Structure 1
Amino acid sequence: MPPSPRMPAWVTAGVLTLCGLIVSLQQTLVIPLLPDMPEILGVSADDASWLVTATLLTGAVATPIVARMADMYGKRRMLLISLLVMTAGSLVAALGGSFGPLIVGRAMQGFGASLIPVGISIMRDQLPREKLAGAISLMSATFGIGAALGLPLSGLIHEAFGWTALFWSTAVVGAVLIVVIRLMLTESVPGSSGRFDVAGALILSIALVALLLILSKGAAWGWTSVAVAVLAGVAVVAFAVWVPLQLRTPEPMVNLRTAVKRPMLLTNVASFFVGFSMLMNSLITTQELQVPTETGYGMALPVVTAGLLMVPGGLMMLVFSPISGRMLNRLGGKPTLLIGSATIGLAYLGRVLAPDSVVTTVVGNTVISVGTAVAFAAMPTLVMATAHRSETASANGVNSLIRSLGTSSSSAVVAMLFASMAVVVDGTAYPSAAGMDVALWLGAATAAIAVLVGALIPVRGGEESGEEREHGTARKDGYHRLPSKSS
């Protein structure tokens, strides 16, 4: 179905991309506030960390559920519902004034994570074929753009207007997007019939919450603590129940038969490792720029300065989005994924070998960001090439979830690494120079794994869905040819 006559294709792409950008920004919204929140709210530092964890948990749970409901009940409808919940969460956080309402608001903001996969599926339905690659590249890049730009932007807003201004700003943007989408964007493709898999959604939610609590709080609780052991048991049991349930359910929460197909499975595995290396880049770079020079590698820059030096990476992801789109059109999804992942790995190697300086650190961070943008652009292409049209949002939702699991795992691994390889300067522990080198080598290794996994993705038949092979509408780059008006 062509785009609504009231909204040109470039406006559709722009509005949906802005949805993705605001989601990515709000996920890092409170990170600059964390050092001040214990004093502001009268809570411990561990309690304050729940401002990040709450959003992570609800985002992980909401993404596959909302994406599946989008395929069944309408993508525009679920886009609006997610935006409403996210915007309401911003208002709750801004008006609450205490720790409890702020946690509730942050949890509600997590629903916005589903906007990216649902937005990509709407693009597939509504945008002309020649504009689809560039739009998907930009939408995919918002996952990293927001992370790169969110930290310095949030810090500046916090210093200038106070912490509540962060939530008021996302509430205003969310409200504007709701109005624009409600008035101008039409439903693209009717939802599929069938019953929503409530049991599958509940069990998957339990498994994901247990797993993500381990990854996000394991370092604070202790990896050998009773809490971590219990949560690990819950996650294992929940997944053990969930998998056979999905296989025998007529309308499953996640179509595992599609998920285990070689193209889809390998794409999701590569996505995990690209997400892992992406967040590791941010964690390493902020440490290098801020820690004392006595560590042997640190540059002792102020927090605001370090945040601003992260901006070039985010801007280059934005600049490279149309280039990634052209790569997808000319080369296809698999080569684009390989080029992006290889760029990440080579940039990590360069950071290991290059002398420590502000310039080399910023350049290395920027090149890794470019590689991430290129790799992220390829993932929806490969996912949609395998998934049936009726499962587009759901398949992209699972891929987004896998990427999130990669970033969460990266955070946990880096925390363990830096804690085990630390040096004390003026009574404070910082990652040692050796620990930083190990982290950089680990970043290169995860990117290399993404390249190896991506190389195994089948070329023939790997970028066309069963639906399209049947009708002869597949293209070399993995996009689905939309029917003409006459058909």
Structure 2
Amino acid sequence: MIARRTVRARAPLGALAGVVGFLAFVEFTSGVLQGYYTPMLTDIARHLRIHDADVNWLEGSQLMLSALIVPIFAKLGDMVGHKRMLLVSTALTAIASLALPFTDSFAVFLIAWALQGFYVVWLPLEIALIWSRSRSTGAGAAVTAKAAGLLVAALEAGAISGALVGGALVDALPLWLVLLIPGIAVAVCFVVILFGVTESPDPNGGRFDTTGAVLLTFALLAFTGGLSLLRLDAGLTAWALVLVGLALIWPFALWELRHPDPLIDVRMFADASLWPVFLTAGLFGVSVLGAQAPLSTFARTDPSVHGYGLGTAGFATSLIIGFYLIAMIVGALLYPLAARRVTPRATLIGATLLVAAGYLLFLPFHASYGQVVTNMAIAGIGSGALVAALPAAAAAAAPLAQTGVATGLTNAVKTVGGAIASCIFGIALLNGAAEVADSTAGSFAGYVTVWIVCGGTAVLAAGALTLVPRTAFTDRAPDPAATATGTTSSL
């Protein structure tokens, strides 16, 4: 058995530069959606007449839908084309975004907000498209990692722009007009994809695994629905739904193992290179998705009334988010450089430890604006690297016919992790809240819980990644001797 050598040569984007450029615009739009609303979550809560802790219902509903659609859209992307599914998801996102400005009903707003979550499939579909076009070059992993870094940089630049503009506009314009802008941006994004992005080569085709999709949908709906009910009443019904959701994973897995073209090849969860990536994605979702609303509401909480928080206005809150997102851009751009200098595995471990350090520093340092910004910058560098690295790593390690599914799974399990965290954090912020009857602020103990959980899950992710083979997620070149004999060596 002849060992293969890792390819460490620089991998220019070359002919893919045009495609990456258009996809970068798509990710910029995705970033606008992710950053724009955060500074105004308190204003949205007042508009809808709900408690600050109930803002997590918005996040939770969107994350629940995202967990359902990412595996399905990723598989359809492998089957019928990644561009086609990008167009479908963008159209649905635009419709939902344009509905938000025209309602003050919490129920209607919640449904539209959830449907807006279709944008979460964009990045995994884009990474799969780039991998499918670059794998024949022999440097697919390196090219995909570099492209992923650029896409995530564009995403975070959009998030910065969205946060800064959103924070400024919410202090100056009627809320309905402020909420209209993202929908227009997504509509423009649809046109860019339609005319600027070419389809991935050689879709796999085949028949869609409808039974698998139904089983997975019931499992995720029961599980995430039970988590949502736990926020209202930790009774028998809520716990029963959670257990039913977990139990349904077993028949789903059995069905997928027997299916010739499964929705998800569950054997990937036993792969030594892939299962730690999926676990890391889920644990990472706790902080990068579940902690967004609590961090915003903590900054907006008035310390003169409650004894904690920063008491910032909308624009000042957006600046904190902006510094965090700038740090994420730095982390995303540094990831391919660091991965080439050491290994992708070591870079992933370092990124998770930065996330852990950033959130755990909140425990002693949270009383001033500068402390919060510093903590978020440290966590942001690690988070940016992980957002870029996880789908690229999954694409490099996955079977060719499951590239889109593997990249989608990093987002799907990240979304599930965020949904779980959103539920836990919502309960934590509500319990022990200020005793003033008309208070809408979350409890300080709840915020401490958020910081500990985010830091702890990042430490666990770092531990899981130490089990990945050292040279995982790298391009490999066949040994010259094997090439000369016309054979392909394997590890």
Same fold flag (TM > 0.5)? yes
Distance 2:323 2:464 in 1: 29
Aligned residues of 1:274 and 1:450 also touching (Cα < 8 A): yes
Find the counterpart in structure 2 of residue 456 from structure 1.
467
Aligned residue identity for 1:113: V
**Structure 1 residues 60-117: Cα deviation after superposition (integer angstroms, max 9, x where no partner):** 2111101100001111111112112222333444567877765554344222221110
Find the counterpart in structure 2 of residue 66 from structure 1.
73
Aligned residues of 2:59 and 2:419 also touching (Cα < 8 A): no
Q: Write the mapping of 1:378-457 to structure 2, written as runs, cut at 5 A.
A: 378-424=389-435, 428=439, 430=441, 436-457=447-468
- Change in Cα spacing, 1:404 to 1:46, as seen in structure 2 (3 Å) is same
Find the counterpart in structure 2 of residue 157 from structure 1.
169
Aligned residues of 1:246 and 1:254 also touching (Cα < 8 A): yes
Aligned residues of 1:30 and 1:51 also touching (Cα < 8 A): no
1:318 is displaced (CA, Å) by 1.9
- Change in Cα spacing, 1:237 to 1:319, as seen in structure 2 (3 Å) is closer
Aligned residue identity for 2:281: S
Q: How many residues align?
A: 461
Q: Tell me if 1:359 matches 2:370.
A: yes
Q: Tell me if 1:212 matches 2:224.
A: yes
Aligned residues of 2:343 and 2:470 also touching (Cα < 8 A): no
1:155 is displaced (CA, Å) by 4.1
Give the one of 257, 273, 276 matched to 1:263. 273
Find the counterpart in structure 1 of residue 63 from structure 2.
56
| TM-score, scaled relative to structure 2 | 0.81
Give the one of 125, 134, 146 matched to 1:134. 146
Q: Pick which of 382-391 and 175-184 moved more.
A: 175-184
Q: Tell me if 1:374 matches 2:385.
A: yes
Overall identity of the aligned pairs, in %: 23
Distance 2:55 2:364 in 1: 38
Distance 2:34 2:233 in 1: 25
Find the counterpart in structure 1 of residue 241 from structure 2.
231
Distance 1:57 1:282 in 2: 16
Distance 2:367 2:46 in 1: 35
Distance 1:406 1:472 in 2: 41
Distance 1:369 1:283 in 2: 16
Aligned residues of 1:141 and 1:376 also touching (Cα < 8 A): no
Aligned residue identity for 1:87: A
- Change in Cα spacing, 1:34 to 1:132, as seen in structure 2 (3 Å) is closer
Find the counterpart in structure 2 of residue 4 from structure 1.
none
Distance 1:284 1:53 in 2: 13
**Structure 1 residues 190-211: Cα deviation after superposition (integer angstroms, max 9, x where no partner):** 1113211011112211222222
Aligned residues of 1:70 and 1:393 also touching (Cα < 8 A): yes
3-state SS of paired residue (1:245)? helix
Aligned residues of 1:27 and 1:52 also touching (Cα < 8 A): no
Aligned residue identity for 1:402: V
Q: Tell me if 1:183 matches 2:190.
A: no
**Structure 1 residues 14-65: Cα deviation after superposition (integer angstroms, max 9, x where no partner):** 3223323433443565566665568767999999876555433332211110
Distance 1:98 1:36 in 2: 14
Distance 1:380 1:456 in 2: 18
- Change in Cα spacing, 1:159 to 1:8, as seen in structure 2 (3 Å) is farther
Q: Write the mapping of 1:303-382 to structure 2, written as runs, cut at 5 A.
A: 303-354=314-365, 356-382=367-393
- Change in Cα spacing, 1:362 to 1:88, as seen in structure 2 (3 Å) is same
3-state SS of paired residue (1:16)? helix
Find the counterpart in structure 1 of residue 8 from structure 2.
none
Find the counterpart in structure 2 of residue 193 from structure 1.
205
**Structure 1 residues 188-236: Cα deviation after superposition (integer angstroms, max 9, x where no partner):** 22111321101111221122222223334531x222253x134224413
Find the counterpart in structure 1 of residue 6 from structure 2.
none
Aligned residue identity for 1:259: F
Distance 1:105 1:251 in 2: 33
Distance 2:170 2:187 in 1: 21
Give the one of 20, 23, 39 matched to 1:16. 23
1:293 is displaced (CA, Å) by 2.5
Distance 2:66 2:447 in 1: 30
Distance 1:464 1:268 in 2: 17
Aligned residue identity for 2:202: P
Give the CA RMSD over aligned residues.
3.5
| TM-score, scaled relative to structure 1 | 0.82
- Change in Cα spacing, 1:354 to 1:169, as seen in structure 2 (3 Å) is closer
Distance 2:226 2:158 in 1: 25
Aligned residues of 1:267 and 1:379 also touching (Cα < 8 A): yes
